[in-house]
Amino acid sequence: MDQSIGIRLDARRKQPLHRQLFDEVVARIRTCTFPAGYKLPATRVLAAELGMHRNTVARAYAELEAAGFVSSSVGRGTFVESTAPQGAAVPVAVGSSPSLEISWASLLSRAARSEAMDRAERQGRRSEQRASTINLARMQPGLALIPEQLLRRCLMHVLAGKGNDALNYAPAEGTPRLREQIARDLVERGVPVRAEDVIVTSGSQQGLDLVARALLNPGDTVLVEPTTYAGVIDLFTLAGARLIPVPMDAEGPDPGALERLVRPEVKCLYLMPNAHNPTGRTLSAERRRALVAWSRGSGVPIIEDDYAAGIVLDEREPPPHLRALDGDVIHVSTFSKRLAPALRIGYVVAPAALRPALMGLKRVVDLGTSAMIQHALAEFMDRGYLRAHSSRIRQVYRSQRDALSEALHRFLPESTAWHLPTCGVVLWVRLPNGSDPERVFAAARERGVLVSPSPQFSVGGSRPEPALRLIFSAEPEERLVEGARRLGKALQQVSRGRASAPTPAPELSELI
């Protein structure tokens, strides 16, 4: 290989110090290609040529050395390195033989060409969203509710105190301190858990994926509610599972119907007992006990998805978690909804017999969740910040829920109906019989408000009720009120038969 290298810095290698002056130094150097061992001009000489302070040039040389492009020696000077650093631009020889076009379509796996991926691709077609668009479809905290300063304080404390340890790989099951903090938080919410029961994951979605990989073979059956979380429909389908919708009654999944669905190939029942996504329903204590009794009697485990953990909007706590009623329940949760989505920290509380398989899969899938973020979150919880933050968001979300509900009463027709959720951030609006939720979605988007139509959450083969899912966590009260007004206009437009044709569903990240 040619031993001369081009000293080139792309934008990713630059550091934000005296930006404009630094860029001038880099621009001066990167225009030339120097042989290995070439001695660069002294900082005083180059500073005089560029008409800037010598310290600026010295800092630029330091950046080049840190990136591996040059090396410095006291008393001798700064020299071009003989080997290009990793990631540097290196000439690549191109053979003379003609190249063949790769047929990527024929190389894709069956999973990549599955119905689940088609569904995800349709969901990923993004509609144009202006700043004036009111988003009642995205399930995340508003930016004003994310405790940026407190999180930054904890991150800085971790980096200052742990240094390189915070930048190393974490154990597959998670850092001991965070597992202890998660167990303590669960115990305070009535779930008897030990730290060794907890496996930290990169969000609850990875937790569900690990459980699916551990339990399911292609062709196995998962029992789900007819209307459920869109992300889990795709995830289980991608695993090759057959999803069977469970008949429902006014209280939720019907235990009697579950008895008739038990087969050898049935591997699990997936439920969201609290703040069901998308309906916002919370199961009663009596129904929870009946479902746990069915699980014990049938030998079919329950996956309990507690994605909205800790977001209780009324003074009365919800009924006991399924995991509190049965130690064989697989409990999955996340910090995305009550703290910040970018943390990507979730967890699985699993029975002892299942944990080794989950930890083995975790090692294979990603080698461990970010140690730095785990340490910072553990510090955040240990200082009591999460408890105080949870109290704050409960008050804000309760106020936003009430503001949206009152506005819907003002602007929506009497033929619509909804109930106030006692936990979580979901409000499920039932439309009149015969309504087309997709047409309402399209008409609402034209008026600058995003909602989620019920077919988005429907298990294949089941006919969803006409409804819309509204999220009240991401927008302030005044925009929630305006969003309700726009939605009311859209419903009027559809009822008069002047709505546009249905359009592709919104992006999946806006629906989870």
- Identical fold for domains 5-80 and 116-143+388-510, yes or no, is no
What is the predicted pLDDT for the residue at 33?
Answer: 59
| CA–CA distance, 308 with 233 (Å, rounded to integer) | 18
- pTM: predicted TM-score of the whole model, two decimal places: 0.78
Copy the structure tokens of residue 480: 């929630």
Copy the structure tokens of residue 24: 């001038």
What is the predicted pLDDT for the residue at 14?
Answer: 42
SS3 content of the chain, % helix, strand, coil (to 5): 45, 15, 40
What is the predicted pLDDT for the residue at 464?
Answer: 87
| CA–CA distance, 16 with 23 (Å, rounded to integer) | 10
Looking from the CA of 301 toward its CB, the CA atoms found within 13 Å total 19
| CA–CA distance, 259 with 297 (Å, rounded to integer) | 9
Indicate the CATH number for domain 146-385: 3.40.640.10
pLDDT tens column, 313-341 = 988 888 999 999 999 999 999 999 999 99
DSSP string, 227-282: B--HHHHHHHHHTTPEEEEPPEETTEE-HHHHHHH--TTEEEEEE--SS-TTT---
Ramachandran class of 218: left when φ > 0, alpha when ψ lies in -120 to 50, beta otherwise: beta
Q: Quickly name the fold that domain 5-80 has.
A: Arc Repressor Mutant, subunit A (1.10.10)
DSSP string, 208-224: HHHHHHHH--TT-EEEE
CB–CB of 465/430 below 8 Å?
yes
List the chain residues with pLDDT less than 50.
Answer: 1-18, 87, 89-94, 125-128, 499-512
Letter string b/e over residues 379-400, b meaning 16 or more CB atoms within 10 A of that residue's CB: bbbeeebbeebbeebbebbbeb
pLDDT tens column, 22-65 = 566 655 555 555 677 778 888 888 877 777 778 778 888 887 77
| CA–CA distance, 302 with 296 (Å, rounded to integer) | 10
What is the predicted pLDDT for the residue at 40?
Answer: 83
Domain formed by 116-143+388-510, architecture: Alpha-Beta Complex (3.90)
What is the predicted pLDDT for the residue at 22?
Answer: 57
What is the predicted pLDDT for the residue at 242?
Answer: 95
| CA–CA distance, 20 with 59 (Å, rounded to integer) | 13
DSSP conformation class of 312: B
| CA–CA distance, 88 with 8 (Å, rounded to integer) | 7
Tell me the domain boundaries of the chain: 5-80, 116-143+388-510, 146-385
What is the predicted pLDDT for the residue at 82?
Answer: 62
The continuous run of DSSP H or E covering 470 comes out as: strand 467-471
| CA–CA distance, 106 with 500 (Å, rounded to integer) | 37
